[in-house]
Structure 1
């Protein structure tokens, strides 16, 4: 799906950018050009960026540690 029609930025391009280390909308805009022409895609692009970041955090969050007392 196209997110930014003006610059031809797709959902997969945004997901790939996050996989490559993009963490802010400014970084996303710089890397992909998303939102740099008319700006109408900015709300959708920001929402998708946050969704991707949330997915990334859940995949790489440390496992829960359980304290076991030595009795």
Structure 2
């Protein structure tokens, strides 16, 4: 699903960037240009970022 229409960024793009180390919104803005044009995607992009970070940390918590 497209999240940022201005730059053609999908939820998969955001998840991949987070898995590759883009843990802050500023990282996503720098790498994908998310929320740098009209800004209407910022809330949804941030929600996807947070969900992905939680999913990444869950396996680590289960292994501990």
Could you state the TM-score of these two structures normalised by the residue count of structure 2? 0.92
Task: Show structure 1 runs of 5+ residues with no match.
Answer: 65-71
Report the counterpart of residue 36 of structure 2 in structure 1: 36
- Partners of 2:18 and 2:31 in 1: CA distance: 10
Paired residue secondary structure (1:61): helix
RMSD: 1.2
Paired residue secondary structure (1:31): helix
**Which structure has the larger Rg?**
1
Higher helix share: 2
Q: Which structure has the higher relative contact order (CA within 8 Å, separation 6+)?
A: 2
Equivalent residue runs for 1:1-71 within 5 Å? 1-61=1-61, 63-64=63-64
In the TM superposition, what is the alpha-carbon distance from 1:60 to its structure 2 partner? 2.5
Tell me which stretches of 4 or more aligned residues in structure 1 moved more than 6 Å. none
Task: Show structure 2 runs of 5+ residues with no match.
Answer: none
